[in-house]
Structures are given as C-alpha cells and as structure tokens.
Chains A and B, each alone.
Chain A
Amino acid sequence: MIVYLACVLLLSIGIYCVAVKKNLIKMVIGIIIMEYAVNLFLVCLGYRTGGVDPILGANGPAARLMDPLPQAMALIAIILGLATTLLTVALALQIYKKYGTFDITKMRELKG
C-alpha cells in the first residue's frame, strides 16, 4: 500500500512542478517525474509477493509468477515518455533561441 501512496505522491510532485514552476527546464523535469510515477505504479501492479521472473519454462509449473503484462506496459510507456521528453527539450531549445530565456512568464505572444 505504501508503494502506491508513494506513486501518488510522486505524481503530485510532478503535477505541482508542471503547474507552478516558471522555468521551462523545471517543467520538463516535472513531466519526467510524472512519467516515472506512472511507470513505478505499473510495475508495482505486476508485483506478487514471493513471485519469480515470468520467463516461460525457466521455473517449475507451480511457481508463482510476477504479472508480466504491466511490465510490458511500463516498457512501452518509457519509450513514449522518452519521445515526449526529447520533443519537449527540442522545443525548449528552439524557444531559448527565439526568446533568450526559459522563463515562461516572458512568453506572451498569444492572448485571448
């Protein structure tokens, strides 16, 4: 239970970072923290107390296996998270070139 609460705590820290921080790089870090929180949550979902690695044929038939599906989901989520992070950082660099700052309060081209 405590692990799940930790996931929610991490998620809240990430949301706080994205919502409150003014620096673009800190917001990117916030997004990464949120992604890690969800990945941790997925891996925890598949954990069985006393379970063994879910490899076909490696263990006896009666062995208690970990649930491999959330682990696969977490792997894919990590890849998607990597793509998102790369894109965000690339955007942040372009923005730095145009605006000369990472401070989002200075970016006020769009209104209404």
Chain B
Amino acid sequence: MSKLLPLFIAGPLLGAVLIPLIARLNRRLPEWLALLITLCLLGAAGGLYFRGPAYLTYAVGGHLPPLGINLVLDGLSHLLLLTVSLVTSLVVIYSMTYLEQYTGKRWFYALYLMILTGMNGVLLAGDIFTLFVFLEIAALATYTLVAFGVEKKELEAALRYLMIGTVASILILFGIGLLYGLTGTLNFADLSRSLPEGAPYAKILISVLFLVGFGMKAALVPFHAWLPDAHTSAPAPVSATLSGVLIKVLGVYALIRIFYNVLGLSPVISGILSFLGVLSILAGGLLALGQGDLKRLLAYSSISQVGYIILGVSLGSPLGLLGGLFHLFNHALFKSLLFLDAGAIEYSTGTRNLKELGGLKEKMPWTYVTTLTASLSISGLPPFNGFWSKLLIIFACIQLGRLWLAAAAILGSILTLAYFLKVQKYAFFEKLPDKLVDIREVPWSMRLPMVLLALLCLAIGLVFPLMVNVFINPAVAAVTAYLGGR
C-alpha cells in the first residue's frame, strides 16, 4: 500500500514532462492524459480510505528516516489529498472546453500537473525541507499560470504574486535554516522531539518567520495583497484551483504542520492566529462587499473564508479543529464551484463585471442553480455543507468562552450572505441587457463538473455525520495525536 505514495508525486510529474512532448501527435492528447492522471489519483486517494485509518510511510530510495527522505500519509494529509484530487480532476474536465479560447494548451496542462505535483509533494512530505521544495515547485508553476493570458493585467498580477511569494519562500527557508540550527534535524516526527527546552528568542524568531511566510502563502489579512489580483487574472480553472486548494495546501496545511507538530501551539501563537483569522473574516468580507468584478469579489471572499479555517484551527480544541478542517474541505468544494461558475458566465457573456450582467437566470439555468447552491453553502444556510462547518467553528469559540470571536464569525457569515445576494441580484435577476440576448448556456463538459460540485455541497450537508466520521475525524485525530504526545 505504501508503494502508492510516490505515485502521487511521480504520476503528475511524469505527465507534466510527457504532455509537451506528445502534444504534436494529437491535439486532444494533453487534456485526456491530464484527465487520466487526475482521475487515477482521485481513485487512489479515495480507495485508500477503504482500508481504515491511514498511516503510511515510504522511505524514498530505501534510506530510512530521520536521515533519508520519507513520505508520510496521515489522516490530515489524506483529507487534503482527497480534496486536491477531487478538485483538480473536476477542474481538468472543465478546462477541456474552457481552454478552447487560449493558445498553448499543452503548456497549460503541463504546468497544471506541475502544480498538482507540488501540492501532493507538500502534503506527503515527511520533512520540512522536502515540503519547502515542493512548495516552491507548486508556487513557480502557479506564477506562470497566473500570467497565462500574457496581457497587461495578467503580467502585473503575476509579478505582484511572484514578488510576494518569493519573499515568503525566502523567509520560510530562513526559518527552516534556524530550525535546523536549533535541532539538527529536518524530519517532522524528529523535530518535535529534539526541540530543546529554553532558547525562547530563537523560537520566537522561527515562529514569526513561519507565521509571516506561510501567512503570505495562505493570504491572511495583513499579507493578502497578492491574492485578489492573482485569482482574478488567472484563467477560471486556475483560479478555482488556487482558491479551492492551493492556498490551503501551501498556507493552512503547512501552518497546521508547523504549529501543531513542530513548535507546539502556545497560547500566544493561538491568540495571534485567532486574531489574524477574525481580521481576515471581517476585512475580506467588507472588501468583497464593495467589488464590482465577480472574480475579484470571489477572491476577497476566499480571504474571508480562509479566515474561518484559521480561526477554527487556531483554537486548539478538537471541536475547533473539526470545524476548521471541515470548513477547509467544504470551502474547496464551493469556492471552486463559484470560480467555475464565474468562468462559465465570462465564457458565455464575455464579461464578469456585475454591472454589465443581469437576467441570466433564464438564459443559463444550470449556471444559475449551481451558483445559487454554492452561494447558499458558503453563506452557511442549512441544509448545505457550509452551515455545519461554520456552526462547528462558532460552537468551538463559545465552548472556549471566547464570545467575541464567535460574534465576529457570525458577523462574517452575515457579510458573506450580503455579498452573495449582491451577486445573485446583479448577475441572475433584474433585466437582461440588450447585448446579452443571444447568449447560450455553456457546453456540457463545463456543466458536468459544476453540477457534480453542487450535488456534493448538498449531499455532504445532508449526510454530514457520515462525512465527519469517515473523513474529518481521522484528520483531527492525526493532529491532536501530536498535541497529546508533547
């Protein structure tokens, strides 16, 4: 079974190398190969759940840890791995039609699989330096894909993203160096054991470096400046991947690994993370409310929702972790869906300015229903999945007696509802502008992933105890196991 682990990295890497080479044979070959690889990975990630709680390790090249590089799959990385595989495979189906408007499709699929390589590598890395290397691979592929349109806006957004992302990476590498100097090891399992008592200043410096570095990757509020530009300028499938999974894998997952497994969640760090989470919820929500560009609104909404995840995780209680990780999974579903819907609207109408849209309800019924489902989910209305995860986060705040955090979370939820009502009103209701009379619904290959994601949002909301038991609880157990061990 553990032989499967390297395939999660080697599979997409091989695909990324092969696609530009074989693209000359048949112009449809790249997308089918990408689809095959992502579906295989989804099957493997899902199939691993059938053999009970997962804890798999694989020593690369036969060199045993702590000296060799090893790949580790525990409950937390398994949950993220499933999320990544699910979102990427649906996004590849969607891009088969969507990308017709771009040239250089093979480079898109090659780079897309490179992002997947990077994300899977980050999730499976058993030591912090391997995590960093795969983080850089994913980040470099993303910078390039943000600039995929090669127009003024795309280039500017990619540049801004690259500058902030590179500074973040360098700070993270500096932190890794300090951590190695302090402990003499890089392996996650070894690090927490060999972290010496005392040395408070070094620990504070390391915490600050990682908080700023991974906070930039996760787009927490003081470090969020790159996200609205990058997610707005990228092609819709890339935006869906970026908002849906990339910021969570590169930012939130890494933060959880470092602060739960390695440094330990001290009350100060927990407080800072809670504060940043609440700040992100409120600032992201307020900024989203003022946006006229649909994708930009969704990008600010991502900042706000990542705030919820960080708030839940930062509480340090099992219930908070449960809510945070559940919201992470749910947000991956509905935010990818919303970006795909925004892409569908742009594909059909040629604009994503809310002021120029209207009355799409009749013309694009599938897009309307899926957007409505996602909007209700993300605003936290029962019986959709977003309701349960937000409820769990708010309960976790109340359980710990932090009422002002709970109040801020509820306020953020009202803000979310407000800006999605705005989307519904401007895009789908009111009068259809004259120049949009001839538009048609998007083709089936774009509709299929949207409908699947919408059905998942509803289904997970209806059977959420099952979902929590099978997928989320093992992840919470994996994180709290380290907490108990310290």
Partner of A107, one of B136, B144, B156: B156
Residues of B within 8 A of A109 (CB): 152-153, 156
B140 near A15 (CB under 8 angstroms)? no
Q: Does A31 contact B (CB under 8 A)?
A: yes
Q: How far is the CA of A69 from the CA of B179 in the complex (A)?
A: 13
Q: Does B296 contact A (CB under 8 A)?
A: yes
Residues of A within 8 A of B177 (CB): 38, 41-42, 45, 70, 73
Q: Does B158 contact A (CB under 8 A)?
A: yes
Residues of B within 8 A of A70 (CB): 177, 180
Partner of B153, one of A37, A76, A110: A110
Q: A11-B174, A35-B170, A45-B180 are in contact. Are A110 and B158 (CB under 8 A)?
A: no
Min C-beta distance of B191 to chain A, whole Å: 14
Residues of B within 8 A of A73 (CB): 129, 176-177, 180
Q: A41-B177, A83-B140, A87-B143 are in contact. Are A27 and B163 (CB under 8 A)?
A: yes
Q: Does B181 contact A (CB under 8 A)?
A: yes
Q: Does A13 contact B (CB under 8 A)?
A: no
Min C-beta distance of A72 to chain B, whole Å: 9
Mark each residue of chain B from 129 to 169: 1 if its CB lies under 8 Å from any CB of chain A, else 0.
10001001000100110010011110111111011001101
Count chain B residues whose beta carbon lies closer than 8 angstroms to a beta carbon of A: 39
Q: How far is the CA of A112 from the CA of B297 in the complex (A)?
A: 10
Q: A80-B133, A94-B155 are in contact. Are A112 and B147 (CB under 8 A)?
A: no
Residues of B within 8 A of A95 (CB): 155-156, 159
Residues of A within 8 A of B163 (CB): 18, 27, 31
A94 near B167 (CB under 8 angstroms)? no
Q: How far is the CA of A80 from the CA of B136 in the complex (A)?
A: 7
Count chain A residues whose beta carbon lies closer than 8 angstroms to a beta carbon of B: 35
Q: How far is the CA of A11 from the CA of B166 in the complex (A)?
A: 13
Instruction: Tell me the nearest residue of chain B to A84, going by C-beta.
Output: B166
A38 near B155 (CB under 8 angstroms)? no
Residues of A within 8 A of B157 (CB): 110
Q: Does A77 contact B (CB under 8 A)?
A: yes
Min C-beta distance of B106 to chain A, whole Å: 18
Residues of B within 8 A of A99 (CB): 152
Q: Does A91 contact B (CB under 8 A)?
A: yes
Q: Does B379 contact A (CB under 8 A)?
A: no
Q: Does B97 contact A (CB under 8 A)?
A: no
Residues of B within 8 A of A91 (CB): 143, 147, 155, 158-159, 162
Min C-beta distance of A18 to chain B, whole Å: 6
A87 near B162 (CB under 8 angstroms)? yes
Q: Does B228 contact A (CB under 8 A)?
A: yes
Q: A34-B170, A110-B229 are in contact. Are A87 and B144 (CB under 8 A)?
A: yes
Q: Does B291 contact A (CB under 8 A)?
A: yes
Given A77-B173, A112-B228, 6 additional A-B pairs, CB 8 A: A31-B163, A34-B167, A70-B180, A76-B133, A91-B147, A110-B157
Interface residues, chain A, CB within 8 Å of chain B?
A: 11, 14-15, 18, 24, 27, 31, 34-35, 37-38, 41-42, 45, 69-70, 73, 76-77, 80, 83-84, 87-88, 91-92, 94-95, 98-99, 104, 107, 109-110, 112
Pull 21 A–B residue pairs with CB atoms less than 8 Å apart, ordered by A: A27-B163, A31-B166, A31-B170, A38-B170, A38-B173, A38-B174, A41-B174, A42-B177, A45-B180, A70-B180, A77-B173, A80-B133, A84-B169, A87-B162, A88-B162, A88-B166, A94-B150, A98-B151, A110-B156, A110-B160, A112-B291
Q: Which 8 A-B pairs have the closest CB atoms?
A: A80-B136, A109-B153, A34-B170, A110-B229, A107-B156, A45-B181, A109-B152, A95-B155
